[in-house]
C-alpha cells in the first residue's frame, strides 16, 4: 500500500507557475493533474472530492424540495400532479439521506480530520477510502439516472407491498443505487474504527481524544453494524420486485411488516449516523469559541456511545400504527424516551461549557448556538412521537416532517455548515468573509424556523404528509413555510458562493486562526500531504485551554530522538 | 514528505527481502507491528459487517420458520441432505487445509503452504460444483421461486413453501457469492505465496484471508442444519 501522490512531471508546469508565490508544498499543491485527484489516496483530497460531490447532491435534493414547497404554497395542485409530487418527495428523501446527510460530516470533515486529530499520517486503509468514494459516485450516478428517467414514488422508506408489487416507477434501479451506496458508508465506518483504534499518536489515550473523534467512532459503529442490514433488506426487496419471491408480499404469503422491521433496524440507527457526527462538531465548536474544556468530557464522550447503542433498540417506534404488538410498542416507547437522556447530557454539557466562557460569536459559533436550540426542539418533539398515544394522533402528519427536519436540517446541516466554516481555513488555507458568514448564518436560522415551525402546527392540526393538495384551512401555515423555504434557500446559496470565492480571494489563514486547541491547529493550513513533519507525541488533555490560550503545548519531537514507543 | 517516511522505513530495511518486493510497511504506519494489527482489526471489523449482513436473512428465516413450521419442514424435505452434508464436510476439510497453509507459512514450509492453498481452493470449487447441481435440480423441479414455481406441489402450503425456497436461494446464493470471492482471494494468496511474500515474520495476508475463509465456512455450518435438517427427512417424501 502506497499512500503518496506523485506529480506527473511536466503536466503541472502551468499550474505551478500560477501558484509560484506559494512556496510551501501542501496537500493541495502535491500534484495538479486530474489523476492526482481521482487516483489520490490522501484522506484530505478524498475529503475534498466528497465535499464537491455531496454539495452537488445537496443542490439536487434541494431543488426537489423547492418544487415541493412551490406546489404546497397553495392548497390546490397547480404546479405538479399527484404522481409527480410523489416522485419529488421520494427523490428528495433518497438524495438528501443517502447522498447528503449520511456521508456529509463523516466523509468530508471526518475524512479530513480524523487522521489529523489523532496524529496519524492517513486513515488505516487509504485505498479503501478512495474506493468508498468511487462506490458513492457509482450509486450517485445510478440515482441521477433514475431522477432523469422518471424517478421513484415509494417514499424513501420503500414500504412493501407498494414498492415490491404495485409501484410503476424505477424501484429496482433505485434499490440497486441505494444498495451500492451503502457499501461506501460501511467502508468509511470500517476505516474510522480501525484508524481510531490503531493509529493514535503515542500519548493520545482514549480520554485525551477530541470529542469529535468519539462521535465519529460511535457513528462508525452504527455504520458498520446497521448498514449491512439495509443492504440485505434492499437485496430482498429487489428479489421480490424482480422475481416475485413472496417474502414481503402478503398476497402470496409474505409479511410486509417484516420489511418494516428490517428497514427500520437500519434506518433508525441511520438517524444517529446523521446526527452523532454533528454532535461531535458541536463539542469542538463550543470548546474553541468559549476557550474552555467541554464540561463533563467523559459524559459527553460516553453519551455518544450510549446514543449509538440505544439507537439500535428503538426501531419499533416507527411502527406503532402498523399492527405491531402493543407490548412491543410499549418497550420501544420506553427505550425511545431513554435516548433523550444521553442527548440531553450533551445539550446540558454544551450549555454548561458556555458558562463563564470567553464566548466569541463567530460564524461557526452562530451555527453552534443555533444547533443547541434547534436540536432541543427536534429532540423533544421526538419524545412526543415516542409516546404511543401522541404518535397515534400525529403519525404520518407534518408534525413528524417538522420533527425530523429540526434534527436533520436544523441540527445536522447547521453542524455541517458550522464545522465547514470552522475548518475551512485549515482545509484550504483561506478565511471565508466573516461578516457575510454571520449574515448567512442568521438568514439560514430565520429561514429554517419559518419553514418548519408552521409545519409543527399544521401537523398537530392533522395535515397528513405526502399529499400535494390540502384543505384551505392549512393554507396560511403552508404559505409561511414556503416563504421560509425561499429564505432558507438564499441562506444556503450564500456559503455556496462565498466559500469558493474565498479560495482565491479570501484572507490567508495562519495555522491557528481561532486560537483553538487540538492537533489539527498545530500544523500548517493547508496541511502537507503527510500532515505532520515528524512523529507526534501528545502529553496533555483535549481542550487544555489554560491561562494563556495560545501557548503551544503539543510537543513535536525532533526527528533524531524519535524512538516511538507504543 | 520524504524525510520522515524514510525514517519510518529505516529499521525495516535490516530485514532481508526477496528482490523486487516492496518494503512491507506502508508509509502511513510507524512500524510493521502497527500495520499488521491494523490489517487484522480491519478484517475482523469487516467480518462483523458480514455477520450483520447475513443476520438480516437469519432473522427473516426465524420469523417465517416460527410462523409456518409445517411448511418449512415440508419444503426442507425437498432438499437433498446428502449433498448438503457432503458439502459441509468439504468446507470443514477446506478450513483445515486453510489453517494448515497458515501454519506452513509460519514454519517456513513453502511447498506445503502452496499445496494447502491449492487444496483449499479445489475444495471450495468442489463445493460450488455440488451447489450448481443442487440449484439445477431445484430449477428443473420448478422449485425456484418466480413465475415457474410449482405451488401445487406443496398442497395447502404452496405460498409458504415458496418463502422457504426464497430464503434458501437468498441465503445459499449469498453464501455461494462469498465462496466465489473466497476463491478469488485464494488465487491472490497463491500468487503472493509463490512470490515469497509470506514468511514466518510476515504472513498477515494469508492469515486474514484465512479469517475470511473460516467465516464463510462457519456461515454454511449454520445454514446446513437450518435449511436441510428440519426433521422432516425421517418421514418426509423421498426424492
In chain A, which residue's Cα lies nearest the Cα of B7?
A559
Can you tell me the distance from the alpha carbon of A150 to that of A170, in angstroms, rounded to the nearest whole number?
8
Distance from CA of B160 to the nearest CA of A (A): 6
* Nearest CA-CA partner of A537 in A557, A561, A521: A557
Which residues are CB-contacts of A45 (< 8 A; sequence separation ≥ 6)? A5, A27, A37
User: In chain A, how long is the greatest CA-to-CA distance?
Assistant: 77
- Which residues of chain B make contact with A3, given a CB cutoff of 8 A? 26-28
- In tens, the pLDDT along B52-94 reads 999 999 999 999 999 999 889 889 988 999 999 999 999 999 9
Q: Which residue of B has its CA nearest to A187?
A: B46
State the residue for C-alpha cell 516492496.
B22
A235 has pLDDT over 50 = yes
CB contact under 8 A, B170 and A236: yes
pLDDT per residue over A373-417, tens digit each? 999 999 999 999 999 999 999 999 999 999 999 999 999 999 999
The single-letter DSSP state of residue A101 is: I
Give pTM, 2 decimals. 0.90
Residue A6: count other Cβ atoms within 10 Å of its Cβ. 11
Question: Cβ of A559 and B7 within 8 Å?
Answer: yes
Q: Is the pLDDT of residue A1 over 50?
A: no
pLDDT band at A219 (very low <50, low <70, confident <90, very high): very high
Contact yes or no for B60 and A529 at CB 8 A:
no
Cis peptide before B200 (omega within 30 of 0): no
Partner residue opposite A229 with nearest CB, options B29, B52, B147: B52
A50 or A549, which is more confident?
A50
A21-27 — which CB contacts under 8 Å span 24+ positions?
Answer: A24/A524, A24/A528, A25/A528, A25/A529, A25/B1, A26/A429, A26/A524, A26/A526, A26/A527, A26/A528, A26/A529, A27/A526, A27/A527, A27/A528, A27/A529
Model confidence at A10, in pLDDT bands (50, 70, 90)?
Answer: very low
The ipTM estimated for the assembled molecules is: 0.88
CA A547 from centroid of its chain's CA atoms? 35
Rounded CA-CA distance A112/A116 in Å is 7
Number of H helices, E strands in chain B: 7, 0
Residue B21 has pLDDT above 60, yes or no: no
- How does DSSP assign A524-548, residue by residue? -SSPPTTS-SS-EE--S-TT---SS
pLDDT of residue B24: 64
Q: Do A122 and B57 touch (CB under 8 A)?
A: no
Rounded Cα distance between A110 and A103, Å, is: 9
> Which chain B residue lies closest to A246 (C-alpha atoms)?
B163
pLDDT of residue B237 exceeding 60, the answer is no
Q: Do residues A235 and B60 lie in contact, with contact meaning Cβ atoms separated by under 8 Å?
A: no
Contact B56 A529 (CB under 8 A): no
pLDDT of residue A496: 95
- Cross-chain Cβ contact A124/B38 below 8 Å: yes
- How confident is the model at residue B189, as a pLDDT? 96
Res. B186: pLDDT tops 90: yes
Which of the residues A530, A536, A558, A561 would you substitute to probe the B interface, choosing the one with the greatest number of B C-beta atoms within 10 Å? A530
- Residue B44 has what pLDDT? 97
Q: Is the pLDDT of residue A562 over 70?
A: no
- Residues of chain A with C-beta less than 8 angstroms from the C-beta of B46: 190
The structural domains of chain A, ordered by start, are 31-559 (1.20.210.10)
3-state SS of B76-90 is HCCCCHHHHHHHHHH
pLDDT band per the 50, 70, 90 thresholds, residue B2: very low
pLDDT band at A118 (very low <50, low <70, confident <90, very high): very high
- Burial of residue B142 (CB within 10 Å: 0-12, 13-18, 19+) is middle
Q: For cell 483449499, name the residue.
A: B120
Cβ contact B41–A197 (<8 Å): yes
Cβ distance B26 to A562 less than 8 Å, yes or no, reads: no
pLDDT of residue B6: 43
Residue B230 pLDDT level (bands cut at 50, 70, 90): confident
Instruction: Report the range of poorest mean pLDDT among A247-261, A467-481, B53-67, B183-197.
Output: A247-261
Domains belonging to chain B, first-starting first, are 29-234 (1.20.120.80)
Average pLDDT score over chain A: 90
Chain A and chain B share a number of CB contacts under 8 A equal to 139
**Chain B nearest C-alpha distance from A262 (Å):** 7
In tens, the pLDDT along A74-109 reads 999 889 999 999 999 999 999 999 999 999 999 999
**Is the Cβ pair A125, B42 closer than 8 Å?**
yes
Nearest to B48 among A4, A224, A532 (CB): A224
The CA distance from B127 to the nearest CA of chain A, in Å, is: 23
The 10s digit of each residue's pLDDT in A40-83 is: 999 999 999 999 999 999 999 999 999 999 999 999 988 999 99
State the Cα angle at A39 between A35 and A43, rounded to 5°: 125
B237 vs B60 pLDDT, higher one: B60
Q: Given this model, what pLDDT does residue A18 score?
A: 43
- The b-or-e profile of A154-164 (16+ CB within 10 A means b, else e) is bbbbbbbbebb
pLDDT at residue B3 is higher than 80:
no
Low-confidence winner among A185-189, A207-211, B146-150, B226-230 (lowest mean pLDDT): B146-150
Contact B4 A530 (CB under 8 A): yes
Residue A323 has a pLDDT of: 84
CB contact (8 A) between residue A262 and residue B59: yes
- Eight-state DSSP code of residue A464: B
Distance (Å, rounded) from C-alpha A53 to C-alpha A191? 20
Q: Cβ distance B118 to B163 under 8 Å?
A: no
A chain contacts of residue B53, beta-carbon cutoff 8 Å = 228-229, 231-232
| pLDDT tens column, A310-369 | 999 999 999 999 888 899 999 999 999 999 999 999 999 999 999 888 899 999 999 999
Amino acid at each position: 500500500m502506497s499512500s503518496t501522490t506523485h506529480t506527473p512531471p511536466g503536466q503541472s508546469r502551468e499550474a505551478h507557475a500560477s501558484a509560484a508565490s506559494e512556496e510551501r508544498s501542501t496537500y493541495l499543491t502535491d500534484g495538479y493533474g486530474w489523476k492526482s485527484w481521482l487516483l489520490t489516496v490522501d484522506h484530505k483530497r478524498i475529503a475534498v472530492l466528497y465535499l464537491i460531490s455531496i454539495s452537488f447532491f445537496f443542490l439536487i435534493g434541494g431543488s426537489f424540495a423547492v418544487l415541493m414547497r412551490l406546489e404546497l404554497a397553495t392548497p390546490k395542485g397547480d404546479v405538479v400532479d399527484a404522481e409527480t409530487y410523489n416522485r419529488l418527495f421520494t427523490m428528495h428523501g433518497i438524495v438528501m439521506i443517502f447522498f447528503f446527510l449520511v456521508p456529509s460530516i463523516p466523509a468530508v470533515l471526518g475524512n479530513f480530520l480524523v487522521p489529523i486529530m489523532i496524529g496519524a499520517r492517513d486513515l488505516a486503509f487509504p485505498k479503501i477510502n478512495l474506493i468508498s468514494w468511487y462506490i458513492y459516485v457509482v450509486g450517485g450516478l445510478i440515482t441521477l439516472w433514475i431522477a432523469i428517467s422518471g424517478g421513484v414514488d415509494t417514499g424513501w422508506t420503500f414500504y412493501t407491498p407498494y414498492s415490491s408489487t404495485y409501484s410503476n416507477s424505477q424501484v429496482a434501479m433505485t434499490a440497486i443505487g441505494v444498495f451500492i451506496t451503502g457499501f461506501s458508508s460501511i467502508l468509511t465506518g470500517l476505516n474510522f474504527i480501525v484508524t481510531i483504534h490503531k493509529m493514535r499518536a503515542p500519548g493520545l489515550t482514549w480520554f485525551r481524544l477530541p470529542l469529535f473523534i468519539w462521535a465519529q467512532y460511535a457513528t462508525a459503529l452504527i455504520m458498520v453494524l446497521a448498514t449491512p442490514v439495509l443492504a440485505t433488506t434492499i437485496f430482498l426487496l429487489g428479489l421480490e420486485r424482480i422475481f416475485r419471491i413472496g417474502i414481503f408480499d402478503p398476497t402470496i404469503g409474505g409479511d410486509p411488516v417484516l420489511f418494516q422491521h428490517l428497514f427500520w433496524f437500519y434506518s433508525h440507527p441511520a438517524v444517529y449516523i446523521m446526527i452523532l457526527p454533528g454532535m461531535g462538531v458541536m463539542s469542538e465548536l463550543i470548546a474553541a469559541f468559549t476557550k474552555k474544556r467541554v464540561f463533563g468530557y467523559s459524559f459527553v464522550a460516553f453519551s455518544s456511545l450510549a446514543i449509538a447503542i440505544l439507537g439500535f433498540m428503538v426501531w419499533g417506534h416507527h411502527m406503532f400504527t402498523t399492527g405491531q404488538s402493543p407490548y412491543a410498542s410499549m418497550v420501544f416507547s420506553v427505550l425511545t424516551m431513554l435516548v433523550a437522556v444521553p442527548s440531553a447530557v450533551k445539550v446540558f454539557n454544551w450549555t454548561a461549557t458556555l458558562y463563564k466562557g470567553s464566548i466569541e460569536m463567530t460564524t461557526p459559533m452562530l451555527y453552534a448556538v443555533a444547533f443547541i436550540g434547534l436540536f432541543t426542539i427536534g429532540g423533544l418533539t421526538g419524545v412526543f412521537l415516542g409516546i404511543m398515544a401522541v404518535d397515534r394522533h400525529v403519525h404520518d402528519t407534518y408534525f413528524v416532517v417538522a420533527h425530523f427536519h429540526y434534527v436533520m436540517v436544523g441540527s445536522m446541516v447547521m453542524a455541517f455548515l458550522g464545522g465547514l466554516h470552522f475548518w475551512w481555513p485549515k482545509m484550504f488555507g483561506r478565511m471565508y468573509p466573516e461578516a457575510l458568514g454571520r449574515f448567512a448564518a442568521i438568514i439560514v436560522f430565520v429561514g429554517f424556523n419559518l419553514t418548519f415551525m408552521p409545519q409543527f402546527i399544521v401537523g398537530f392540526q392533522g395535515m397528513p404528509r405526502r399529499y400535494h393538495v390540502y384543505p384551505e384551512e392549512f393554507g396560511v401555515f403552508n404559505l409561511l413555510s414556503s416563504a421560509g423555504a425561499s429564505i432558507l434557500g438564499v441562506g444556503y446559496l450564500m456559503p455556496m458562493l462565498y466559500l469558493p470565492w474565498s479560495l482565491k480571494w479570501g484572507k490567508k489563514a495562519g495555522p491557528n486562526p481561532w486560537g483553538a486547541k487540538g492537533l489539527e491547529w498545530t500544523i500548517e493550513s493547508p496541511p502537507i500531504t503527510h500532515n505532520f513533519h515528524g512523529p507526534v507525541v501528545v502529553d496533555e488533555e483535549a481542550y487544555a485551554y489554560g491561562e494563556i490560550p495560545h501557548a503551544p503545548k503539543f510537543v513535536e519531537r525532533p526527528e533524531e530522538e524519535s524512538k516511538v514507543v507504543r | 514528505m520524504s524525510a520522515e517516511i524514510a525514517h519510518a522505513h529505516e529499521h525495516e530495511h535490516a530485514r532481508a527481502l526477496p528482490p523486487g518486493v516492496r518494503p512491507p510497511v506502508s508509509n502511513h504506519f510507524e512500524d510493521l507491528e502497527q500495520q499488521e494489527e491494523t490489517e487484522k482489526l480491519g478484517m475482523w471489523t469487516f467480518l462483523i459487517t458480514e455477520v450483520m449482513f447475513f443476520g438480516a436473512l437469519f432473522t427473516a428465516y426465524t420469523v417465517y420458520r416460527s410462523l409456518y413450521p409445517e411448511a418449512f419442514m415440508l419444503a426442507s424435505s425437498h432438499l437433498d441432505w446428502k449433498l448438503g452434508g457432503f458439502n459441509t464436510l468439504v468446507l470443514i476439510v477446506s478450513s483445515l487445509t486453510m489453517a494448515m497453509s497458515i501454519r506452513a507459512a509460519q514454519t517456513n514450509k513453502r511447498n506445503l503452504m502452496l499445496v494447502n492453498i491449492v487444496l483449499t481452493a479445489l475444495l471450495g470449487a468442489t463445493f460450488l460444483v455440488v451447489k450448481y447441481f443442487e440449484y439445477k435440480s431445484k430449477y428443473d423441479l420448478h422449485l425456484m421461486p418466480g413465475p415457474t414455481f410449482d405451488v401445487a406441489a406443496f398442497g395447502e402450503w404452496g405460498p409458504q413453501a415458496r418463502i422457504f425456497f426464497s430464503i434458501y436461494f437468498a441465503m445459499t446464493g449469498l453464501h455461494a457469492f462469498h465462496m466465489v470471492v473466497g476463491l478469488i482471494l485464494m488465487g491472490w494468496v497463491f500468487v503472493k505465496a509463490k512470490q515469497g511474500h509470506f514468511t514466518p515474520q510476515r504472513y498477515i495476508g494469508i492469515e486474514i484471508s484465512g479469517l475470511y475463509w473460516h467465516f464463510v465456512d462457519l456461515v454454511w455450518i449454520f445454514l446446513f442444519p437450518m435449511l436441510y435438517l428440519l426433521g422432516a427427512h425421517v418421514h418426509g417424501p423421498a426424492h
